Amino acid sequence: MLQLIRVIDELPAGFDALLAEARAGGVRNMDLLVEQWASGEQRFESGGLFAAFVGGELAGVGGVSADPAMAAMRMRRLYVRPRFRRGGVGRALAAAMMQQGFEGAEVLTVNARASEAAPSFWEALGFQPVSEPGYTHRLTRGG
C-alpha cells in the first residue's frame, strides 16, 4: 500500500537508505536535498516536500517550491528508489507536487536533466519541453 506524507520538520525515516541508493546510482539531487535542508536554504515552505512509503518503507521523495526566476512553482528533488520504480510511486509523488504547485501559481517548471528517463516522465504528465535557462519543461494550468 502506498502512503504519501508531507515532510515538515525533518527528513523522513529511511532517508539514509534512499540517499545511499541515489549516490550509488550517481544521482546527486538527494545530496543537494540534504545540504539545502540542513542549511535551511530549501525547506519547501512555499510548496511542500512529500515522502512516499510502500509497506512502511521509504520509496521516494519529491518537492515543489517557488521558482525564483519567474511567477511559477518548481518541481524539485524527485527521486524514487530503483526497486519501487514502475509501480506508480513517481506518479503519485508528482501528482501531489503538481496539486500543491498549482495552489501557488498557474505555471509549473521542472529541470529534467537528472536522468535519461526524466524528460519522458514529465512529458507523460503534460509538461512541455522548453528552451529556457534553468529548467527544461513547463506546464500551465489547464494546458
All cell numbers assigned to 104: 501557488
pLDDT band at 133 (very low <50, low <70, confident <90, very high): confident
* Neighbour tally for 48: CB within 10 Å: 21
* Alpha-carbon span 104 to 25, nearest angstrom: 33
What is the tens place of the pLDDT at every residue in 70-92? Answer: 789 999 999 999 999 999 999 99
Q: Residue 143: what pLDDT?
A: 65
What is the tens place of the pLDDT at every residue in 7-65? Answer: 999 999 999 999 999 999 998 999 999 999 999 888 988 889 999 999 999 999 999 99
Domain residues for the domain of 87 are 2-140
**Count of domains observed in the chain:** 1
CATH of the domain at 58: 3.40.630.30
Which one, of 38, 104, 113, lies nearest residue 65 by Cα?
A: 104
- To which H or E segment does residue 119 belong? helix 118-124
CA angle 85, 89, 97 (to 5 degrees): 130
| SS3 readout for 24-51 | HCCCCHHHHHHHHHHHCCCCCCCCEEEE
| Residues 6+ away with beta carbon under 8 Å from 123 | 129, 137
